[in-house]
Amino acid sequence: MSPTTLPAGPEHGHVTFLGAGPGDPGLLTLRAVEALANADVLVVEHEVLDVVRTHVRPGVSVVNAEPGPYVDPLPGTGAPHPTVVDSASTTAGVPAVRDASHLVMEAARGGRRVVRAVSGDPGLDTYAAEEMLACAAAGVPFEVVPGVAAAVGVPAYAGVPLRDAQGADVRFVDARTASDRCWTEVGASDGTVVVSTTLDSVASAAGELVSAGRKPDTPMTVTVAGTTTRQRTWSATLGTIAQTLKQAKVLPSPDGGRPVIAVVGERSAPAQRDQLAWFESKPLFGWRVLVPRTKEQAASLSDQLRSYGAVPHEVPTIAVEPPRTPQQMERAVKGLVTGRYEWIAFTSVNAVKAVREKFEEYGLDARAFAGIKVAAVGEQTAKALVAFGVKPDLVPSGEQSAAGLLEDWPPYDPVFDPIDRVFLPRADIATETLVAGLIELGWEVDDVTAYRTVRASPPPAETREAIKGGGFDAVLFTSSSTVRNLVGIAGKPHNVTVIACIGPATAKTAEEHGLRVDVMAPEPSVHKLAEALADFGLKRRAAAQAAGDAVTRPSERRPGARRRRAT
């Protein structure tokens, strides 16, 4: 596609001006998600690109719009120079176009459904308002989907309510455009003031308020990267904020121009904020947690880690490939259709995927399981089967493992079981526990290699350096193979990294590789493992607070504070 041509579409286009909120993807409204799902073109500011693009369809044109005056027309056309990225799954290298309003209208006139996404709320965005007026003047239909404004959302995440039962006055100030009259008015008020500013201008804004009449001992909080896992909040007063930031080594700094939200008034007093800072007090807040699993398996675990405030980093350590000789798998799948089996037992999500792919190859679907009992070794495998259209007949009621499945598996009964054979599709390196147990229960087992597990390619150099250099706060090992493969492709995690293992066998392998195991799941479940790590983080936070120490992440330990491996 030409970089200056948008694809053709229906006769009438439409523009949705959408507020993407202050940074947390969970703050998108239902209407925003719906509009993104129906978009043909997404014109988005860089800072909220990752927030919105996961909700658009594959193949949608994505343009990174840098707000500002138009400066670079195409020769002889007067049109802007939009460069379109056709795959919404691409996360890097999205180019910018200076005149977003021109691009938005061009796309809409071409019959496209355009979503123009801005940070915060479009009603508070100067450029969005100009683009709305341009659409109105050109007769282009548009709608506005409000978003959570940073001036409201960030204080809520920082534990600073803006009003109380007395209904105190609340004033909002953008320090970057505020006039002397504006400062005088808010300085004369005794209510709460919410200031939008930048790190390098916080002290200046505090000085303006003092000059306008506010007392230097008025409480003040400053929050950077609000509503994200990079959020950090400092509590001080108007008179001490400059010294507080200096001691925290955030001023002066190269990123001093980063936007921040400052709240001034009694509502931001430290004693109250300590009780209400729900977000930054999550058990794993800001922790970078390495999840060395296959990409498909890591998703639900990563979601759970995010709910604890962590930043999961998925590193595939195992790649899944078809079996070297597919004939055995082909015969078994045909046997399913011809009634060879009484049961089929799935021991992993990958086994479900392998059988499903073989079904699709033969033009089969879930109806081929009619009359066959289906077992799943755990909840995640059961969910994969349900997504396939199959409800498993047997899932372990206790331990989510082969041993747990055997505890609930019925013995073969020639009276009630017309067929005595079980189809077991699994990995080439699977253990024999399930096979031996089924045979002991009287069943015949067709143990079939459905897929092979091989060591994945090494992660990028940056990730390898972070693993070995202590850049990660924790790593979750879900099997012995993930230990061996991670160490093999990326090196041994640094001593400061918290090591969490799913069970004794995995822990033993970790120790054999020179790692100290800090956390072990109470039962062999990835979700219980994540819960155990969260509990570890909570206790670590409580211990630091009880000792009067600052709460830090493991990766923030001073250099040289290396741990000894358990012996």
| pLDDT tens-digit series, residues 16-41 | 999 999 999 999 999 999 999 999 99
Neighbours of 235 (CB within 10 A): 23
pLDDT, one tens digit per residue, over 264-318 is 988 777 778 888 999 999 999 999 999 987 655 556 788 899 999 999 999 988 8
| CA–CA distances in Å: residue 323 to residues 231, 318, 435, 482 | 46, 15, 19, 20
% of the chain with per-residue pLDDT over 70: 86
3-class secondary structure, 479: coil
DSSP 109: H
Q: Is residue 70 over pLDDT 70?
A: no
Query: What is the per-residue pLDDT for 297?
Result: 57
Query: What is the per-residue pLDDT for 427?
Result: 83
Query: What is the per-residue pLDDT for 29?
Result: 96
Query: What is the per-residue pLDDT for 567?
Result: 37
Which carries the bigger pLDDT value, residue 145 or residue 396? Answer: 145
Beta bridge mates, 118? 19
Query: What is the per-residue pLDDT for 83?
Result: 37
CA distance 372 to 369: 5
Q: Is residue 85 over pLDDT 50?
A: no
Q: Is residue 4 over pLDDT 90?
A: no
Q: Is residue 398 over pLDDT 80?
A: no
- CA-based nearest residue to 295, from 310, 313, 308: 313
Which carries the bigger pLDDT value, residue 7 or residue 225? Answer: 225
Query: What is the per-residue pLDDT for 344?
Result: 94
Which carries the bigger pLDDT value, residue 535 or residue 400? Answer: 535
pLDDT, one tens digit per residue, over 421-455 is 999 998 877 667 889 999 999 999 999 999 988 88
Asked if 424 and 347 count as a contact pair (C-beta separation under 8 A), the reply is yes
% of the chain with per-residue pLDDT over 90: 51
Least confident stretch, 24-28, 92-96, 491-495: 92-96
Cα angle for residues 70, 71, 77 (degrees, 5° grid): 85
pLDDT, one tens digit per residue, over 164-181 is 767 678 999 999 888 888
How confident is the prediction for the chain on average, in pLDDT? 85
Give the residue-averaged pLDDT of 94-99: 46
Which carries the bigger pLDDT value, residue 67 or residue 351? Answer: 351
- CA-based nearest residue to 62, from 72, 70, 52: 52
CA distance 235 to 221: 4
3-state secondary structure 522-533: CCCCHHHHHHHH
Neighbours of 528 (CB within 10 A): 16
Query: What is the per-residue pLDDT for 294?
Result: 60
**Sequential DSSP letters for 186-241:** HHH--SEEEEEEEGGGHHHHHHHHHHTT--TT-EEEEEESTTSTT-EEEEEETTTH
Query: What is the per-residue pLDDT for 80?
Result: 34
Q: Is residue 463 over pLDDT 70?
A: yes
Q: Is residue 117 over pLDDT 90?
A: yes
CA distance 455 to 460: 15
Which carries the bigger pLDDT value, residue 65 or residue 364? Answer: 364
Query: What is the per-residue pLDDT for 457?
Result: 87
Q: Is residue 410 over pLDDT 50?
A: yes
Give the residue-averaged pLDDT of 130-150: 92
Query: What is the per-residue pLDDT for 1?
Result: 36
Q: Is residue 102 over pLDDT 70?
A: yes
pTM, whole model, 2 decimals? Answer: 0.74
pLDDT, one tens digit per residue, over 170-211 is 999 999 888 888 998 888 888 899 999 999 899 999 999 999
Long-range contacts of 142-146 (CB under 8 A, 24+ apart): 142/14, 142/15, 142/16, 142/17, 142/108, 143/14, 143/15, 143/16, 143/17, 144/16, 144/17, 145/16, 145/17, 145/18, 145/19, 145/29, 145/31, 145/32, 145/35, 146/19, 146/29, 146/121, 146/122
pLDDT, one tens digit per residue, over 217-264 is 999 999 999 999 999 999 999 999 999 998 888 766 666 678 899 999
Asked if 388 and 364 count as a contact pair (C-beta separation under 8 A), the reply is no
CA distance 346 to 442: 19
